[in-house]
Amino acid sequence: MMLEGKRQAFSGTVLELGKQSILFSYPLLKNLAVHAGYELKDEGYDYPGSDRRLTDVEFFKLLGFDEVKSMEYGTTEGADYVWDLNNKVPVDWHNQFDFVYDGGTIEHIFHVPNCLDNVCRMLKIGGRAIHDGAVSGCIDHGFYALQPTLFHDFYQANGFEINTSTVSKVKLENWLTHTGVQVPYTPGMYDFNKTWAFESETLYVGVSFATKKQTYHDMVFPQQSLWSRR
């Protein structure tokens, strides 16, 4: 997130798909920002103490967003929008958000194409989508282990600009406490005959950013770029 925020500053309204749980406190975020060379939007921030984890709203506002909204399937977590993303969102929600953050929701939704379509429709032109989720190493975590090539090829086919794409490697015992080793991703860079999925003690997480550059009408189904190049 900080690498992408340095490339282009965050502002406006972010919509979380799923009410995010933040696993660290303000001092830890501040320390990470120092190492990343990222300037938090923390002027006048009421420091909550080192033992309390940040809320989702605090986290996104510290990164620079002005307003934080959330969408959930149910009502128990206090989300602003209650919706099943298997279904198309209402027209009133189209072109409303500067940023849509999927921090591990889409793999739990059976109808992935409808979820992606919803993201495209809810973003303003110039808005950014981010998908941050497990690529391998989490059997039965969700319905799917979505690959970074899906987001790269889908958004490119639908008129988005691909901004930042990385794959992170982290040991499972450290994934709640340590940042992973990040590698810039391009489709086809890995030999899938030597798949990581069999490394049972390692989790791989893909992060993809894409910017909506034009009016979105109907979904274009992508072909996987690895094979179309061949």
Question: Would you tell me how many other CB atoms lie within 10 Å of the CB of residue 51?
Answer: 7
Decide if 201 contacts 169 (C-beta within 8 A): no
Q: Which of 157, 140, 127, 126 is nearest to 223 (CA)?
A: 157
Per-residue pLDDT, averaged over 115-138, amounts to: 92
- What does 138-186 look like in DSSP terms, one character per residue? -TTSSS----HHHHHHHHHHTTEEEEEEEEEEEEGGGTTTS--EEEE--
- The overall average pLDDT reported for the chain is 89
146: left (phi over 0), alpha (psi -120 to 50) or beta: beta
Is 50 exceeded by the pLDDT of residue 127?
yes
- Give the predicted TM-score (pTM) of the model: 0.89
* CATH fold of the domain at 2-228: Rossmann fold (3.40.50)
- Can you give the pLDDT at residue 198? 47
Alpha-carbon separation of residue 91 from 72, 87, 117 (angstroms): 18, 12, 12
The label of the residue with tokens 């303003």 reads: 124
Is a pLDDT exceeding 60 seen at residue 196? no
- The residues spanned by each domain of the chain are 2-228
**Torsion angles phi and psi, residue 4, rounded to 5:** -70, -35
Nearest to 53 by CA among 32, 34, 28, 35: 28
Residue 187 pLDDT more than 90? Answer: no
Q: What is the mean pLDDT of residues 139-166?
A: 92
Give the range among 6-10, 46-50, 136-140, 174-178 with minimum mean pLDDT. 174-178
Q: Sorting pLDDT into bands at 50, 70 and 90, what band is 204?
A: confident
Do residues 115 and 106 lie in contact, with contact meaning Cβ atoms separated by under 8 Å?
Answer: yes
Per-residue pLDDT at 194: 56
Q: What are the percentages of helix, strand and coil residues in the chain, rounded to 5?
A: 30, 25, 45
Predicted confidence (pLDDT) at residue 137 exceeds the cutoff of 90: no
Task: Dump pLDDT digits (tens) for 72-99.
Answer: 998 788 899 999 999 999 999 999 999 9
pLDDT band for position 122 (cuts 50, 70, 90): very high
Kindly state the average pLDDT of the residues 193-206.
63
Rounded Cα distance, 35 and 78, in Å? 33
